[in-house]
Amino acid sequence: MNQYVTGAVIRELREKKGLTQAELAERLYVSDKTVSKWENGKGYPDITLLEAIAGAFGISVTELLAGKAVENANVSANMLRSKFYVCPVCGNVLHSMGEAAISCHGVMLAPLQAEETDEHHMILIEGVEDEYFIRIEHEMTKQHYISFVAALRPDGIELVKLYPEGNAQTRVKMRGVKRICFYCNRDGLFSVNVHRAIDGKPGAYDNAEERRQLEAAAQRIFG
């Protein structure tokens, strides 16, 4: 585990909860002097107490280790607000619809920040009947590859796992797709907005600069 609950975190969460050191100690069946030692950096709570401490503050153990309670503002559950996390240890791909405290293999994961596609990560999106055919111009070696492609809709997500030495391409249902994301194991997450006006017809736009110009034109015309 790359971090542990600190005294400063315990003090902050205790004060937010409106508890005194004595009241927290009573809930944890320890002395108030013990709580004071934690908060003054003179000791750490035993790992067996983490669940009880988290319960006293009304949060999860993961949130406790993250140092804050998660306040999810995504009350409308709009999938376009999706966040992706990738574990650096095992490559596990995790997804949330809003704010979350997520860990894997004891590592607290930060949400991936999507970048615009570039000349090294060009994407082709082509309408084929009721599907989008997606191809990413990228090598697929064991050292450098595209790990997954995700098609985002306001009410859903279609995530396709890709593998080294395979093809950096897939098909997804066209209905309602607003954004395509894909993850490069070296360079991170990339995202491109989907415009039916340019992607829902035969033809390919895999030049990054040309695509941005087309997107800008589509945005002006179709909003």
**pLDDT confidence of residue 52:** 92
**pLDDT confidence of residue 197:** 61
Residues 6+ positions from 145 with CB-CB distance below 8 Å: 138, 139, 162, 163, 164, 165, 168, 184, 185
Q: Which residues pair with 83 in a beta bridge?
A: 96
Contact 97, 74 (CB under 8 A): yes
Domains in the chain, CATH or no CATH each: 7-66 (1.10.260.40), 79-109 (no CATH), 115-222 (2.60.40.730)
Question: How confident is the chain (223 residues) per 10-residue block, as mean pLDDT?
Answer: 73 92 93 92 87 89 73 61 91 86 84 89 88 92 96 94 95 93 95 78 61 64 52
Angle subtended at Cα 205 by Cα 179 and Cα 220, rounded to the nearest 5 degrees? 60
**pLDDT confidence of residue 53:** 92
Reported pTM: 0.65
The structure tokens listed for 111 are 């949400």
